[in-house]
Chains A and B, each alone.
Chain A
Amino acid sequence: MPAPSELALASLQARMAAALLASDADGQALPEALFAGAHAGAAGLRVHRNTVLGALSNALRLSFVAVDRLVGEAFFDRMAVEYARAMPPRAPQLDEYGAGFAAFVTGFPGTEGLPYLGELAQFDWQFAELARDRPALETGGPMLLLDGGVRLQFLAPLRLHGARYPVDRLREAILAEDAVALGALELTPGDYRYALWRTPEGVRVRPLRLPSSRFLAAVYAGAGGAEALAAAAGEAGTVAAVAEILAQEILPAGFVRVGA
Protein backbone atom coordinates (compact mmCIF):
# COMPACT_ATOMS: atom_id res chain seq x y z
CA MET A 1 0.00 0.00 0.00
CA PRO A 2 1.49 3.41 -0.93
CA ALA A 3 2.40 5.89 1.77
CA PRO A 4 -0.01 8.88 1.93
CA SER A 5 2.49 11.18 0.23
CA GLU A 6 2.78 8.79 -2.73
CA LEU A 7 -0.91 8.68 -3.63
CA ALA A 8 -1.41 8.79 -7.36
CA LEU A 9 -2.80 12.11 -8.55
CA ALA A 10 -6.26 10.74 -9.43
CA SER A 11 -6.64 9.16 -6.03
CA LEU A 12 -5.42 12.29 -4.25
CA GLN A 13 -7.89 14.47 -6.15
CA ALA A 14 -10.79 12.11 -5.45
CA ARG A 15 -9.98 12.06 -1.74
CA MET A 16 -9.54 15.81 -1.60
CA ALA A 17 -12.82 16.46 -3.41
CA ALA A 18 -14.64 14.15 -1.01
CA ALA A 19 -13.02 15.88 1.98
CA LEU A 20 -14.05 19.33 0.72
CA LEU A 21 -17.70 18.31 0.32
CA ALA A 22 -17.98 16.20 3.49
CA SER A 23 -20.16 17.53 6.31
CA ASP A 24 -18.71 15.54 9.22
CA ALA A 25 -15.29 16.03 10.83
CA ASP A 26 -14.10 12.51 9.99
CA GLY A 27 -14.97 12.92 6.31
CA GLN A 28 -13.32 16.34 6.12
CA ALA A 29 -9.96 15.13 7.43
CA LEU A 30 -7.05 13.98 5.29
CA PRO A 31 -3.83 12.54 6.76
CA GLU A 32 -1.52 15.38 7.81
CA ALA A 33 1.35 13.31 6.37
CA LEU A 34 0.13 14.40 2.94
CA PHE A 35 1.12 17.98 3.69
CA ALA A 36 4.37 19.74 4.46
CA GLY A 37 3.61 23.46 4.57
CA ALA A 38 3.94 26.08 7.26
CA HIS A 39 0.29 25.54 8.25
CA ALA A 40 -1.51 22.31 9.04
CA GLY A 41 -3.08 20.77 5.96
CA ALA A 42 -6.45 21.02 7.70
CA ALA A 43 -6.15 24.83 7.76
CA GLY A 44 -5.53 24.95 4.00
CA LEU A 45 -8.39 22.53 3.35
CA ARG A 46 -10.67 24.77 5.39
CA VAL A 47 -9.83 27.73 3.11
CA HIS A 48 -10.66 25.67 0.02
CA ARG A 49 -13.85 24.27 1.61
CA ASN A 50 -15.04 27.79 2.43
CA THR A 51 -14.28 28.94 -1.11
CA VAL A 52 -16.07 26.01 -2.76
CA LEU A 53 -19.18 26.10 -0.59
CA GLY A 54 -19.29 29.90 -0.54
CA ALA A 55 -19.13 30.08 -4.34
CA LEU A 56 -21.90 27.52 -4.74
CA SER A 57 -24.07 29.20 -2.14
CA ASN A 58 -23.63 32.57 -3.85
CA ALA A 59 -24.41 31.07 -7.25
CA LEU A 60 -27.69 29.73 -5.87
CA ARG A 61 -28.44 33.04 -4.13
CA LEU A 62 -28.21 34.86 -7.47
CA SER A 63 -30.83 32.56 -8.99
CA PHE A 64 -33.16 32.22 -5.97
CA VAL A 65 -33.43 35.84 -4.93
CA ALA A 66 -36.92 35.72 -3.41
CA VAL A 67 -36.21 32.52 -1.49
CA ASP A 68 -33.03 34.10 -0.10
CA ARG A 69 -34.90 37.25 0.92
CA LEU A 70 -37.73 35.25 2.51
CA VAL A 71 -35.68 32.86 4.65
CA GLY A 72 -32.70 35.17 5.33
CA GLU A 73 -29.03 34.80 4.42
CA ALA A 74 -28.01 32.38 7.18
CA PHE A 75 -30.84 29.92 6.61
CA PHE A 76 -30.40 30.17 2.83
CA ASP A 77 -26.72 29.28 3.28
CA ARG A 78 -27.72 26.22 5.32
CA MET A 79 -30.01 24.99 2.56
CA ALA A 80 -27.52 25.89 -0.17
CA VAL A 81 -24.57 24.16 1.48
CA GLU A 82 -26.61 20.99 2.07
CA TYR A 83 -27.71 21.09 -1.56
CA ALA A 84 -24.14 21.65 -2.77
CA ARG A 85 -22.93 18.66 -0.76
CA ALA A 86 -25.73 16.47 -2.08
CA MET A 87 -25.68 17.72 -5.67
CA PRO A 88 -22.42 19.46 -6.60
CA PRO A 89 -22.29 20.97 -10.10
CA ARG A 90 -21.11 18.93 -13.06
CA ALA A 91 -19.85 21.92 -15.09
CA PRO A 92 -18.17 25.29 -14.42
CA GLN A 93 -20.91 27.57 -15.79
CA LEU A 94 -22.55 28.16 -12.40
CA ASP A 95 -25.39 30.23 -13.87
CA GLU A 96 -26.99 26.91 -14.75
CA TYR A 97 -26.43 25.38 -11.33
CA GLY A 98 -29.51 24.84 -9.18
CA ALA A 99 -32.06 23.14 -11.42
CA GLY A 100 -32.87 20.74 -8.56
CA PHE A 101 -32.85 23.31 -5.76
CA ALA A 102 -36.62 23.93 -5.75
CA ALA A 103 -37.35 20.25 -5.18
CA PHE A 104 -34.58 20.12 -2.56
CA VAL A 105 -35.98 22.96 -0.43
CA THR A 106 -39.53 21.61 -0.58
CA GLY A 107 -40.09 20.29 2.92
CA PHE A 108 -36.57 21.24 4.06
CA PRO A 109 -36.42 20.91 7.87
CA GLY A 110 -37.32 24.22 9.46
CA THR A 111 -39.54 25.43 6.62
CA GLU A 112 -42.74 23.72 7.76
CA GLY A 113 -44.40 27.14 8.07
CA LEU A 114 -43.57 27.95 4.43
CA PRO A 115 -45.47 25.31 2.40
CA TYR A 116 -45.08 27.45 -0.72
CA LEU A 117 -41.25 27.64 -0.50
CA GLY A 118 -40.59 25.06 -3.21
CA GLU A 119 -43.03 26.73 -5.60
CA LEU A 120 -41.50 30.13 -4.91
CA ALA A 121 -38.10 28.60 -5.72
CA GLN A 122 -39.48 27.20 -9.00
CA PHE A 123 -40.77 30.65 -9.89
CA ASP A 124 -37.39 32.22 -9.03
CA TRP A 125 -35.73 29.66 -11.31
CA GLN A 126 -38.02 30.61 -14.20
CA PHE A 127 -37.01 34.26 -13.76
CA ALA A 128 -33.32 33.35 -13.54
CA GLU A 129 -33.42 31.24 -16.69
CA LEU A 130 -35.30 33.88 -18.65
CA ALA A 131 -33.02 36.67 -17.39
CA ARG A 132 -30.07 34.89 -19.00
CA ASP A 133 -31.86 34.87 -22.34
CA ARG A 134 -31.60 37.53 -24.95
CA PRO A 135 -34.79 39.60 -25.32
CA ALA A 136 -37.29 37.83 -27.51
CA LEU A 137 -37.36 38.90 -31.10
CA GLU A 138 -40.70 40.22 -32.19
CA THR A 139 -40.98 37.68 -34.95
CA GLY A 140 -39.51 34.74 -33.07
CA GLY A 141 -42.67 32.92 -31.90
CA PRO A 142 -45.60 31.14 -33.48
CA MET A 143 -48.00 32.98 -35.72
CA LEU A 144 -51.73 32.29 -35.62
CA LEU A 145 -54.38 33.10 -38.19
CA LEU A 146 -57.90 33.50 -36.78
CA ASP A 147 -61.22 33.71 -38.56
CA GLY A 148 -61.69 37.04 -40.27
CA GLY A 149 -58.01 37.25 -41.25
CA VAL A 150 -56.81 38.43 -37.83
CA ARG A 151 -53.17 37.46 -37.32
CA LEU A 152 -51.53 36.97 -33.89
CA GLN A 153 -47.73 37.07 -33.88
CA PHE A 154 -46.31 35.74 -30.58
CA LEU A 155 -42.90 36.49 -29.11
CA ALA A 156 -40.47 33.72 -28.37
CA PRO A 157 -39.68 32.33 -25.93
CA LEU A 158 -42.86 32.49 -23.85
CA ARG A 159 -43.03 30.26 -20.81
CA LEU A 160 -46.20 28.94 -19.21
CA HIS A 161 -45.95 28.19 -15.53
CA GLY A 162 -48.39 26.64 -13.08
CA ALA A 163 -48.38 26.85 -9.30
CA ARG A 164 -50.57 25.99 -6.32
CA TYR A 165 -49.88 29.37 -4.69
CA PRO A 166 -50.01 32.95 -6.01
CA VAL A 167 -46.24 33.01 -6.44
CA ASP A 168 -46.27 36.18 -8.57
CA ARG A 169 -47.75 38.34 -5.83
CA LEU A 170 -45.73 36.50 -3.17
CA ARG A 171 -42.46 37.13 -5.01
CA GLU A 172 -43.31 40.74 -5.74
CA ALA A 173 -44.16 41.48 -2.10
CA ILE A 174 -40.98 39.74 -0.86
CA LEU A 175 -38.70 41.60 -3.24
CA ALA A 176 -40.42 44.91 -2.48
CA GLU A 177 -40.11 44.11 1.24
CA ASP A 178 -43.81 44.99 1.46
CA ALA A 179 -44.88 43.44 4.75
CA VAL A 180 -48.45 44.75 4.37
CA ALA A 181 -48.92 43.11 0.97
CA LEU A 182 -47.28 39.94 2.23
CA GLY A 183 -49.58 39.81 5.26
CA ALA A 184 -52.64 40.37 3.12
CA LEU A 185 -51.88 37.52 0.72
CA GLU A 186 -54.30 34.61 0.76
CA LEU A 187 -51.87 31.70 0.69
CA THR A 188 -54.31 28.81 0.41
CA PRO A 189 -53.59 26.28 -2.32
CA GLY A 190 -55.34 26.88 -5.64
CA ASP A 191 -54.67 26.77 -9.38
CA TYR A 192 -52.47 29.65 -10.56
CA ARG A 193 -51.15 30.02 -14.08
CA TYR A 194 -48.69 32.46 -15.58
CA ALA A 195 -47.00 33.50 -18.78
CA LEU A 196 -43.40 34.73 -18.47
CA TRP A 197 -41.25 36.31 -21.15
CA ARG A 198 -38.10 38.35 -21.62
CA THR A 199 -38.07 41.97 -22.78
CA PRO A 200 -35.13 44.37 -23.13
CA GLU A 201 -36.14 45.79 -19.74
CA GLY A 202 -36.24 42.43 -17.95
CA VAL A 203 -38.49 39.46 -17.28
CA ARG A 204 -42.26 40.05 -17.44
CA VAL A 205 -45.01 37.95 -15.90
CA ARG A 206 -48.75 37.88 -16.51
CA PRO A 207 -51.28 35.85 -14.52
CA LEU A 208 -53.65 33.86 -16.68
CA ARG A 209 -56.96 32.13 -16.21
CA LEU A 210 -57.28 28.52 -17.31
CA PRO A 211 -58.65 29.20 -20.82
CA SER A 212 -55.82 31.58 -21.69
CA SER A 213 -53.25 29.13 -20.39
CA ARG A 214 -54.75 26.29 -22.43
CA PHE A 215 -54.94 28.51 -25.50
CA LEU A 216 -51.28 29.52 -25.27
CA ALA A 217 -50.17 25.94 -24.58
CA ALA A 218 -52.00 24.84 -27.73
CA VAL A 219 -50.57 27.67 -29.82
CA TYR A 220 -47.01 26.95 -28.68
CA ALA A 221 -47.58 23.24 -29.40
CA GLY A 222 -48.34 24.17 -33.01
CA ALA A 223 -52.15 24.19 -33.03
CA GLY A 224 -54.11 26.28 -35.52
CA GLY A 225 -56.59 28.98 -34.52
CA ALA A 226 -59.73 26.87 -34.29
CA GLU A 227 -57.96 24.07 -32.52
CA ALA A 228 -56.41 26.44 -29.97
CA LEU A 229 -59.76 28.09 -29.28
CA ALA A 230 -61.37 24.69 -28.78
CA ALA A 231 -58.61 23.70 -26.37
CA ALA A 232 -59.14 26.95 -24.48
CA ALA A 233 -62.89 26.39 -24.23
CA GLY A 234 -62.44 22.91 -22.77
CA GLU A 235 -65.39 20.64 -22.22
CA ALA A 236 -67.79 23.13 -20.66
CA GLY A 237 -66.92 26.51 -22.11
CA THR A 238 -68.12 28.27 -25.23
CA VAL A 239 -65.79 29.73 -27.80
CA ALA A 240 -67.46 33.12 -27.52
CA ALA A 241 -66.89 33.31 -23.75
CA VAL A 242 -63.35 32.13 -24.18
CA ALA A 243 -62.65 34.68 -26.88
CA GLU A 244 -63.59 37.43 -24.47
CA ILE A 245 -61.18 36.14 -21.83
CA LEU A 246 -58.42 35.89 -24.39
CA ALA A 247 -59.07 39.42 -25.54
CA GLN A 248 -58.81 40.68 -21.94
CA GLU A 249 -55.76 38.68 -20.89
CA ILE A 250 -53.63 37.95 -23.92
CA LEU A 251 -54.01 40.83 -26.34
CA PRO A 252 -52.84 43.59 -23.93
CA ALA A 253 -50.13 41.44 -22.31
CA GLY A 254 -47.27 42.63 -24.50
CA PHE A 255 -46.14 39.27 -25.83
CA VAL A 256 -48.35 39.24 -28.91
CA ARG A 257 -48.76 41.57 -31.84
CA VAL A 258 -52.10 41.74 -33.62
CA GLY A 259 -52.20 42.26 -37.38
CA ALA A 260 -54.55 41.78 -40.24
Chain B
Amino acid sequence: MSRGASLNPIPAQAGIGLRLPHHAQVLAERPAAAWLEVHPENYMADRHSLRELELIRAHYPLSLHAVGLSLGSAHGVDPAHIGRVHQLAERLDPALVSDHLSWSVAGGQYLPDLLPLPYTDEALRVVCRNVEQVQEALGRQILVENPSTYLRFAASAIPEAEFLAAVARRTGCGVLFDVNNIYVSATNQRLDPAAELAAWCRVLDGPMVGEIHLAGHAVVQTAAGAELRIDDHGDHVCAAVWALYEQALAHLGPRPTLLEWDTRVPAFAVLQAEAALAQSRLDAVQERAYACAV
Protein backbone atom coordinates (compact mmCIF):
# COMPACT_ATOMS: atom_id res chain seq x y z
CA MET B 1 0.00 0.00 0.00
CA SER B 2 1.38 3.40 -0.93
CA ARG B 3 2.11 6.01 1.71
CA GLY B 4 -0.05 8.42 -0.26
CA ALA B 5 0.59 10.39 -3.36
CA SER B 6 1.12 13.85 -1.92
CA LEU B 7 2.45 16.41 -4.35
CA ASN B 8 4.73 17.59 -1.56
CA PRO B 9 6.51 14.55 -0.01
CA ILE B 10 8.26 14.59 3.36
CA PRO B 11 12.06 14.73 2.93
CA ALA B 12 14.47 12.73 5.10
CA GLN B 13 15.15 15.90 7.06
CA ALA B 14 14.24 17.36 10.44
CA GLY B 15 10.71 18.75 10.68
CA ILE B 16 8.84 20.62 13.39
CA GLY B 17 5.58 19.91 15.18
CA LEU B 18 3.34 22.90 14.41
CA ARG B 19 1.13 24.04 17.28
CA LEU B 20 -1.59 26.69 17.26
CA PRO B 21 0.42 29.38 19.12
CA HIS B 22 2.84 29.50 16.16
CA HIS B 23 0.27 29.82 13.38
CA ALA B 24 0.43 33.60 13.13
CA GLN B 25 4.23 33.70 12.99
CA VAL B 26 4.48 30.88 10.45
CA LEU B 27 1.85 32.58 8.28
CA ALA B 28 3.53 35.96 8.47
CA GLU B 29 7.22 35.04 8.29
CA ARG B 30 7.35 31.58 6.69
CA PRO B 31 10.26 30.53 8.92
CA ALA B 32 12.57 27.80 7.67
CA ALA B 33 11.35 24.27 8.38
CA ALA B 34 11.90 21.22 6.19
CA TRP B 35 8.36 20.03 6.95
CA LEU B 36 5.60 20.36 9.53
CA GLU B 37 3.40 17.94 11.43
CA VAL B 38 0.06 18.67 13.13
CA HIS B 39 -2.51 16.80 15.18
CA PRO B 40 -5.61 16.59 12.97
CA GLU B 41 -7.91 16.57 16.02
CA ASN B 42 -6.93 20.23 16.62
CA TYR B 43 -8.50 21.23 13.31
CA MET B 44 -11.72 19.24 13.22
CA ALA B 45 -13.89 21.71 15.12
CA ASP B 46 -11.74 24.81 14.71
CA ARG B 47 -12.57 26.05 11.22
CA HIS B 48 -10.61 29.26 11.78
CA SER B 49 -7.36 27.40 12.53
CA LEU B 50 -8.01 24.98 9.67
CA ARG B 51 -8.19 27.88 7.25
CA GLU B 52 -4.86 29.14 8.60
CA LEU B 53 -3.36 25.67 8.23
CA GLU B 54 -4.49 25.50 4.61
CA LEU B 55 -2.59 28.72 3.95
CA ILE B 56 0.49 27.45 5.81
CA ARG B 57 0.34 24.10 4.06
CA ALA B 58 0.89 25.77 0.69
CA HIS B 59 4.51 26.41 1.74
CA TYR B 60 5.53 23.29 3.69
CA PRO B 61 5.29 19.50 3.29
CA LEU B 62 2.78 18.30 5.88
CA SER B 63 2.20 15.20 8.02
CA LEU B 64 -1.01 14.44 9.97
CA HIS B 65 -0.27 12.78 13.31
CA ALA B 66 -3.56 11.65 14.84
CA VAL B 67 -4.10 10.97 18.53
CA GLY B 68 -7.72 9.86 18.50
CA LEU B 69 -8.15 6.90 16.15
CA SER B 70 -7.67 4.50 19.07
CA LEU B 71 -6.12 1.75 16.96
CA GLY B 72 -6.06 -0.61 19.94
CA SER B 73 -9.75 -0.38 20.88
CA ALA B 74 -11.27 -3.85 21.24
CA HIS B 75 -14.60 -2.54 19.94
CA GLY B 76 -13.05 -1.13 16.77
CA VAL B 77 -12.31 2.32 15.40
CA ASP B 78 -15.09 4.93 15.29
CA PRO B 79 -16.01 5.30 11.59
CA ALA B 80 -17.04 8.90 12.26
CA HIS B 81 -13.53 9.74 13.41
CA ILE B 82 -11.95 7.96 10.46
CA GLY B 83 -14.26 10.10 8.32
CA ARG B 84 -13.05 13.29 9.98
CA VAL B 85 -9.40 12.32 9.40
CA HIS B 86 -10.22 11.39 5.81
CA GLN B 87 -11.90 14.73 5.21
CA LEU B 88 -8.83 16.60 6.52
CA ALA B 89 -6.49 14.43 4.46
CA GLU B 90 -8.52 15.25 1.37
CA ARG B 91 -8.24 18.98 2.09
CA LEU B 92 -4.62 19.10 3.20
CA ASP B 93 -2.94 16.45 1.02
CA PRO B 94 -0.53 15.27 3.75
CA ALA B 95 2.45 13.18 2.75
CA LEU B 96 2.11 11.04 5.90
CA VAL B 97 -0.74 10.02 8.20
CA SER B 98 -0.03 8.34 11.53
CA ASP B 99 -1.39 7.39 14.96
CA HIS B 100 -0.29 5.29 17.93
CA LEU B 101 -0.09 1.70 19.11
CA SER B 102 -2.52 2.42 21.95
CA TRP B 103 -6.19 2.89 22.76
CA SER B 104 -8.24 5.81 24.05
CA VAL B 105 -11.88 4.83 23.49
CA ALA B 106 -13.87 2.35 25.57
CA GLY B 107 -17.64 2.16 25.94
CA GLY B 108 -18.02 5.18 23.67
CA GLN B 109 -16.02 7.38 26.05
CA TYR B 110 -12.89 9.12 24.81
CA LEU B 111 -10.00 9.33 27.28
CA PRO B 112 -7.38 11.79 25.97
CA ASP B 113 -4.29 9.67 26.53
CA LEU B 114 -2.34 6.95 24.71
CA LEU B 115 -3.35 4.03 26.89
CA PRO B 116 -1.23 0.87 26.83
CA LEU B 117 -2.16 -2.49 25.34
CA PRO B 118 -1.28 -5.93 26.61
CA TYR B 119 0.81 -7.43 23.83
CA THR B 120 -1.18 -10.61 23.29
CA ASP B 121 -2.39 -12.54 20.24
CA GLU B 122 -5.88 -11.11 20.80
CA ALA B 123 -4.57 -7.52 20.90
CA LEU B 124 -2.50 -8.19 17.76
CA ARG B 125 -5.64 -9.33 15.90
CA VAL B 126 -7.54 -6.27 17.16
CA VAL B 127 -4.84 -3.78 16.14
CA CYS B 128 -4.38 -5.38 12.71
CA ARG B 129 -8.14 -5.33 12.08
CA ASN B 130 -8.33 -1.66 13.09
CA VAL B 131 -5.27 -0.58 11.07
CA GLU B 132 -6.65 -2.34 8.01
CA GLN B 133 -10.01 -0.60 8.50
CA VAL B 134 -8.34 2.82 8.70
CA GLN B 135 -6.05 2.21 5.73
CA GLU B 136 -8.94 0.97 3.63
CA ALA B 137 -11.09 3.99 4.52
CA LEU B 138 -8.28 6.48 3.90
CA GLY B 139 -7.06 4.67 0.79
CA ARG B 140 -3.47 4.94 1.94
CA GLN B 141 -0.85 3.50 4.24
CA ILE B 142 -0.60 4.86 7.77
CA LEU B 143 2.33 4.82 10.18
CA VAL B 144 1.87 3.43 13.70
CA GLU B 145 3.96 4.81 16.57
CA ASN B 146 5.36 2.97 19.59
CA PRO B 147 4.04 4.78 22.71
CA SER B 148 5.71 5.60 26.02
CA THR B 149 4.62 3.15 28.69
CA TYR B 150 4.29 3.49 32.45
CA LEU B 151 2.98 0.03 33.21
CA ARG B 152 3.39 -3.41 31.77
CA PHE B 153 0.70 -6.10 31.65
CA ALA B 154 1.33 -9.55 33.05
CA ALA B 155 -0.55 -10.95 30.06
CA SER B 156 1.91 -9.47 27.54
CA ALA B 157 3.54 -12.39 25.76
CA ILE B 158 5.01 -10.61 22.72
CA PRO B 159 7.85 -8.05 22.98
CA GLU B 160 6.62 -4.60 21.90
CA ALA B 161 9.03 -4.37 18.93
CA GLU B 162 7.93 -7.75 17.59
CA PHE B 163 4.29 -6.82 18.14
CA LEU B 164 4.55 -3.60 16.12
CA ALA B 165 6.66 -5.25 13.41
CA ALA B 166 4.01 -7.98 13.13
CA VAL B 167 1.31 -5.30 12.72
CA ALA B 168 3.39 -3.73 9.95
CA ARG B 169 3.99 -7.03 8.17
CA ARG B 170 0.35 -8.15 8.37
CA THR B 171 -1.30 -4.84 7.42
CA GLY B 172 1.30 -3.13 5.26
CA CYS B 173 1.36 -0.13 7.60
CA GLY B 174 4.64 1.62 8.34
CA VAL B 175 6.28 2.33 11.67
CA LEU B 176 6.69 5.73 13.25
CA PHE B 177 9.67 5.08 15.51
CA ASP B 178 9.66 7.33 18.57
CA VAL B 179 13.14 7.26 20.06
CA ASN B 180 12.20 9.26 23.14
CA ASN B 181 9.43 6.75 23.86
CA ILE B 182 11.96 3.90 23.67
CA TYR B 183 14.05 5.72 26.27
CA VAL B 184 11.11 6.58 28.54
CA SER B 185 9.64 3.06 28.42
CA ALA B 186 13.00 1.36 28.95
CA THR B 187 14.06 3.49 31.90
CA ASN B 188 10.60 3.18 33.50
CA GLN B 189 10.98 -0.60 33.31
CA ARG B 190 14.58 -0.47 34.60
CA LEU B 191 15.89 -1.75 31.26
CA ASP B 192 18.97 -0.61 29.34
CA PRO B 193 17.70 1.84 26.66
CA ALA B 194 20.57 1.10 24.27
CA ALA B 195 19.91 -2.63 24.48
CA GLU B 196 16.20 -2.01 23.99
CA LEU B 197 16.87 0.13 20.92
CA ALA B 198 19.19 -2.56 19.55
CA ALA B 199 16.38 -5.08 20.02
CA TRP B 200 14.03 -2.80 18.05
CA CYS B 201 16.64 -2.42 15.30
CA ARG B 202 16.95 -6.19 14.98
CA VAL B 203 13.22 -6.37 14.28
CA LEU B 204 12.64 -3.25 12.19
CA ASP B 205 14.06 -3.10 8.72
CA GLY B 206 14.84 0.30 7.24
CA PRO B 207 11.99 0.64 4.72
CA MET B 208 9.43 -0.25 7.42
CA VAL B 209 10.21 2.99 9.29
CA GLY B 210 8.59 6.00 7.64
CA GLU B 211 9.36 8.57 10.30
CA ILE B 212 11.21 9.12 13.58
CA HIS B 213 9.98 11.21 16.51
CA LEU B 214 12.12 13.03 19.06
CA ALA B 215 10.92 14.96 22.11
CA GLY B 216 11.76 15.96 25.65
CA HIS B 217 10.29 14.37 28.75
CA ALA B 218 9.85 15.05 32.46
CA VAL B 219 11.23 13.17 35.45
CA VAL B 220 8.96 12.77 38.49
CA GLN B 221 8.95 10.78 41.74
CA THR B 222 6.29 8.13 42.37
CA ALA B 223 4.50 7.90 45.71
CA ALA B 224 6.96 5.11 46.56
CA GLY B 225 9.88 7.48 45.90
CA ALA B 226 10.98 5.85 42.65
CA GLU B 227 11.91 7.86 39.56
CA LEU B 228 9.44 7.83 36.68
CA ARG B 229 9.87 9.49 33.28
CA ILE B 230 6.80 11.11 31.74
CA ASP B 231 6.57 11.70 28.00
CA ASP B 232 5.19 15.23 28.30
CA HIS B 233 6.89 16.77 25.22
CA GLY B 234 7.77 19.75 27.37
CA ASP B 235 11.54 20.09 27.21
CA HIS B 236 14.65 19.80 25.05
CA VAL B 237 15.66 16.34 23.82
CA CYS B 238 18.01 14.94 26.45
CA ALA B 239 21.57 13.78 25.69
CA ALA B 240 20.71 10.11 26.20
CA VAL B 241 17.93 10.32 23.60
CA TRP B 242 20.26 12.04 21.12
CA ALA B 243 22.65 9.12 21.56
CA LEU B 244 19.82 6.65 20.89
CA TYR B 245 18.80 8.66 17.83
CA GLU B 246 22.33 8.35 16.42
CA GLN B 247 22.17 4.61 17.11
CA ALA B 248 18.82 4.40 15.27
CA LEU B 249 20.07 6.40 12.27
CA ALA B 250 23.14 4.18 12.00
CA HIS B 251 20.82 1.20 11.60
CA LEU B 252 17.89 2.69 9.68
CA GLY B 253 19.65 5.31 7.60
CA PRO B 254 18.31 8.87 7.25
CA ARG B 255 14.59 9.12 8.02
CA PRO B 256 12.21 12.10 8.23
CA THR B 257 12.58 13.17 11.85
CA LEU B 258 10.13 15.29 13.81
CA LEU B 259 10.76 17.43 16.87
CA GLU B 260 7.66 17.41 19.07
CA TRP B 261 7.00 20.01 21.77
CA ASP B 262 3.46 20.12 23.15
CA THR B 263 3.53 21.50 26.69
CA ARG B 264 5.10 24.82 27.73
CA VAL B 265 5.52 25.43 23.98
CA PRO B 266 8.56 27.70 23.45
CA ALA B 267 9.27 30.24 20.71
CA PHE B 268 9.41 28.82 17.18
CA ALA B 269 13.11 29.68 17.04
CA VAL B 270 13.73 27.22 19.89
CA LEU B 271 12.04 24.49 17.87
CA GLN B 272 14.13 25.44 14.85
CA ALA B 273 17.31 25.17 16.92
CA GLU B 274 16.23 21.76 18.21
CA ALA B 275 15.46 20.63 14.65
CA ALA B 276 18.91 21.84 13.58
CA LEU B 277 20.47 19.48 16.13
CA ALA B 278 18.58 16.58 14.55
CA GLN B 279 19.48 17.81 11.05
CA SER B 280 23.20 17.82 11.88
CA ARG B 281 22.94 14.13 12.82
CA LEU B 282 20.98 13.36 9.65
CA ASP B 283 23.63 15.18 7.60
CA ALA B 284 26.41 13.18 9.27
CA VAL B 285 24.70 9.90 8.36
CA GLN B 286 24.17 11.06 4.78
CA GLU B 287 27.82 12.14 4.49
CA ARG B 288 29.01 8.77 5.81
CA ALA B 289 26.75 6.98 3.32
CA TYR B 290 28.13 9.15 0.50
CA ALA B 291 31.73 8.52 1.57
CA CYS B 292 31.09 4.75 1.61
CA ALA B 293 29.50 4.94 -1.85
CA VAL B 294 32.50 6.66 -3.41
Interface residues of A (CB under 8 A from B): 4-10, 12-14, 16-17, 20-21, 33-41, 43-48, 51-52, 55-56, 59, 88-96, 131-135, 198
Is B98's CB within 8 Å of the partner chain A?
Answer: no
Query: Of A6, A20, A38, which contacts B155 at CB under 8 A?
Result: A6
Do residues B112 and A43 form an inter-chain contact, with CB atoms below 8 A? no
B277 an interface residue at 8 Å Cβ cutoff?
Answer: no
A47-B228, A48-B150 as given contacts; A12 in contact with B109, CB under 8 Å: no
B112, B149, B222: the one contacting A52 at CB < 8 Å is B112
Asked if B151 and A93 make an inter-chain contact with CB atoms under 8 angstroms apart, the answer reads no
Note all chain A residues with C-beta closer than 8 A to B152.
35-38
The reply to whether A88 and B110 contact each other, CB–CB distance below 8 Å, is yes
Q: B80 and A38: CB pair below 8 A?
A: no
On chain A, the residues within 8 Å of B155 by CB distance are 5-7, 34
* Set of chain A residues within 8 Å of B154, measured between Cβ atoms: 4-5, 33-36
* B68 x A9 contact (CB < 8 A): no
5 closest Cβ pairs, A-B complex: A92-B68, A44-B151, A37-B152, A10-B74, A44-B150
Q: Is the CB of A92 within 8 A of B48?
A: no
Chain B interface, number of residues (Cβ within 8 angstroms): 53
- B112-A37 in contact (CB<8A): no
In the docked arrangement, what's the CA distance between A7 and B153, Å? 11
Alpha-carbon distance A134/B73, docked complex (angstroms) = 34
Show 27 A/B contacts (Cβ-Cβ < 8 Å), sorted by A.
A8-B122, A9-B118, A12-B118, A13-B73, A13-B115, A17-B107, A17-B109, A34-B154, A35-B151, A37-B149, A38-B188, A39-B222, A39-B226, A43-B222, A43-B223, A43-B228, A47-B228, A47-B230, A55-B112, A55-B113, A92-B41, A93-B68, A95-B45, A132-B45, A132-B47, A133-B48, A134-B47
- Let me know if A93 and B224 touch, CB within 8 A: no
Q: Is the interface of A mostly helix, strand, loop or mixed?
A: helix
Extra contacts besides A12-B153, A92-B104 (11): CB < 8 Å? A5-B153, A5-B155, A9-B74, A35-B151, A38-B190, A47-B150, A48-B150, A51-B113, A55-B113, A92-B44, A95-B46
- Give the residues in chain B near A21, CB-CB below 8 Å: 109, 111
Contact A93 B45 (CB under 8 A): yes
Quick one: closest A residue to B107, CB to CB?
A: A14
- Knowing A17-B107, A92-B104, A132-B48, the reply to whether A36 touches B112 (Cβ < 8 A) is no
User: Would B189 and A20 count as touching, CB distance under 8 A?
Assistant: no
B120 interface residue, CB < 8 Å from A?
yes
Verify A9–B111 contact, CB threshold 8 A. no
Give the residues in chain B near A20, CB-CB below 8 Å: 111, 113
Contact B230 A8 (CB under 8 A): no
For B42, the chain A residues whose CB sits under 8 A away are 95
- Residues B105-145 near A (CB distance < 8 A): 106-113, 115-118, 120, 122-123, 126
Q: Residues of B contacting A51 with CB < 8 Å? A: 112-113
- Separation of A132 and B254 alpha carbons in the complex (Å): 38
Nearest chain A residue, comparing its CB with the CB of B78: A91
CB distance from A174 to the nearest CB of B (A): 23
Contact assessment for B46 and A16 in the assembled complex, using a CB-CB cutoff below 8 Å: no
> In the assembly, what is the distance between CA of A9 and CA of B154, in Å?
13
* CB–CB B81/A91 < 8 A: yes
User: Smallest Cβ distance from A94 to chain B, in angstroms?
Assistant: 6
**B110 CB contacts on chain A under 8 angstroms:** 88-92
Q: Are A13 and B68 in contact (CB under 8 A)?
A: no
Residues of B within 8 A of A94 (CB): 41, 112
* Bound complex: CA A46 to CA B46 (Å): 31
Report Cα–Cα, A110/B22, bound state, in Å. 38
Contact indicator A92/B81 (Cβ below 8 Å) = yes
B156 lies within 8 A of chain A by Cβ: yes
Is B115's CB under 8 angstroms from A92's CB? no
Is B57 interfacial (CB 8 A cutoff)? no
CB closest chain-B residue, reference A200: B48
Residues on A with beta carbons closer than 8 Å to the beta carbon of B103: 13
Knowing A8-B74, A9-B123, the reply to whether A134 touches B68 (Cβ < 8 A) is no
How distant is B217 from chain A, measured CB to nearest CB, in Å?
Answer: 12
